[in-house]
Structure 1
């Protein structure tokens, strides 16, 4: 009879950890199927799944829906290197235009979502506006694949928050606030604003929506970037937030010297 109950997965954990440690299971090697593990260890499906979940949580294996689990590759270099930057381009008339460094790499794979909401405490602080200020939101699901389904590429969500005061200040955004980053930057410069940017990044456990939309492997985190666009006086104009799987991914930032704070 199959064993059940709390802690029955420990022999599976110990054995597979040892096999990974001593090289019996090499990086990239697939683990036996659930049925194979059940038969080998004499455990229930529930217990085997709990063992797999814990191995994934420890970062030892990667779970692929519908295919199984394999030993996480050991590498000092991430397979995916995403450059986070804003490029500047000098025009013949002496003005500058700005583009997002990631624009050529990522492609929309769904119709963007557009709606209006009110600023939460978190968004109000980030945008320098009172709580409940009306915000225009532009949601996009992107992939590195240019195929219609985007099935073979990595995925990223990109969300833009534009507060009503910015739309009041920039007529083009009052007419249509739902734009791509490059279009937003152009609208600001056309209005005589010189944009500046500050970005932060953090890792967090994926929410259920992240796991589904981004195809995040079990046990992996999500990288969240927040880019705040301000004017030269430091007044926030808009906020962009991206989310992508942290699995095998690193973000690269070009650095420019800044004045040391007093």
Structure 2
């Protein structure tokens, strides 16, 4: 039997926030485990003695935090997708590309997820000023821009946009929807640009309306933004990738030597 608590009329918090706090506590302590169905609206109304709108506000708050998902005609469930562990020291290993695995595929499998990708768009455009600077391209230079959305167990967790100089990408599978085994980096290396190093910049912020729609998250769920630049062995930048990640869907893990 779940201990749903009760409404404290002396509490400064509105009732819906108190209900949300009680359900949040049950989720965080594992009393409501991933995949578990929450009590129905009718049950919550009866237990707390509140109006339906109050219960819906509480559930909406939890949905906005990414803690629960609503399934039409079935109810509200604790989100079941555990974080994808992003192993930064291993995700770009050449061994993965030789096995035909792109980075997200490799890390999703390690985390026990079924990876997927959709909403793929490939265009050739003039490089935005910041991207041209990162790629050391002259003003007006063109790049192949690849946009896609990544899924873990069917749930959107990340969007990514890669920019590759047209001089590298033209005439390769990089300009196709399916880049083939090993992904973009395998194709870049086939062009004679063996990868030597990467730099990454990581920030956090609230999502834009477009990002909320693409990632299917509420306005209260922050996102992680990561901008990566790939360099070949001659230290020539060969790709810039801008990713937007659902904050609760990832654990970013870095391994580096102490010097």
- Give TM class, smaller chain: 0.5 to 0.7
What residue number does 1:198 align with? 199
1:68 shift after superposition = 2.3
1:107 shift after superposition = 4.7
Change in CA separation of 1:209 and 1:33 when aligned onto 2, cut-off 3 Å: farther
1:180 shift after superposition = 6.1
Q: Give RMSD over aligned pairs.
A: 4.2
1:80 shift after superposition = 3.4
> Contact 2:201–2:226 (CA<8 Å) still a contact in 1?
yes
> Contact 2:157–2:249 (CA<8 Å) still a contact in 1?
no
Change in CA separation of 1:11 and 1:240 when aligned onto 2, cut-off 3 Å: same
| 2-structure distance, mates of 1:69, 1:79 | 17
| 1-structure distance, mates of 2:145, 2:26 | 51
Match runs of 1:130-145 below 5 Å: 130=138, 132-145=140-153
1:254 shift after superposition = 3.5
1:20 shift after superposition = 5.7
| 1-structure distance, mates of 2:68, 2:238 | 41
Change in CA separation of 1:198 and 1:41 when aligned onto 2, cut-off 3 Å: same
1:12-56 Cα deviation digits (max 9, x unpaired): 3235536766999944475544455556444362x5444444456
| 2-structure distance, mates of 1:55, 1:103 | 29
| 1-structure distance, mates of 2:100, 2:193 | 12
1:10 shift after superposition = 0.7
> Contact 2:121–2:147 (CA<8 Å) still a contact in 1?
yes
Secondary structure of 2:67 counterpart: strand
TM-score, normalised with respect to structure 2? 0.63
What is the number of residues matched between the two proteins? 225
What residue number does 1:237 align with? 238
| 1-structure distance, mates of 2:13, 2:208 | 26
Change in CA separation of 1:256 and 1:136 when aligned onto 2, cut-off 3 Å: farther
What residue number does 1:13 align with? 17
What residue number does 1:162 align with? 164
What residue number does 2:76 align with? 68
Change in CA separation of 1:34 and 1:134 when aligned onto 2, cut-off 3 Å: farther
Give the stretch that moved more between structures: 14-23 or 214-223.
Answer: 14-23
| 2-structure distance, mates of 1:192, 1:97 | 19
- Which segments of 5 or more consecutive residues in structure 2 lack a partner in the other structure? 1-11
| 1-structure distance, mates of 2:183, 2:77 | 42
> Contact 1:81–1:250 (CA<8 Å) still a contact in 2?
yes
More helix by share: 2
What residue number does 1:175 align with? 171
| 2-structure distance, mates of 1:33, 1:161 | 47
| 1-structure distance, mates of 2:141, 2:61 | 43
1:75-107 Cα deviation digits (max 9, x unpaired): xxx653232332135xxxxxx999744334475
Computing the radius of gyration from Cα coordinates, the structure with the larger value is 1
Match runs of 1:46-57 below 5 Å: 47-54=54-61
**Does 2:136 match 1:128?**
yes
1:166-187 Cα deviation digits (max 9, x unpaired): x1xx4xx221342369354344
| 2-structure distance, mates of 1:22, 1:112 | 38
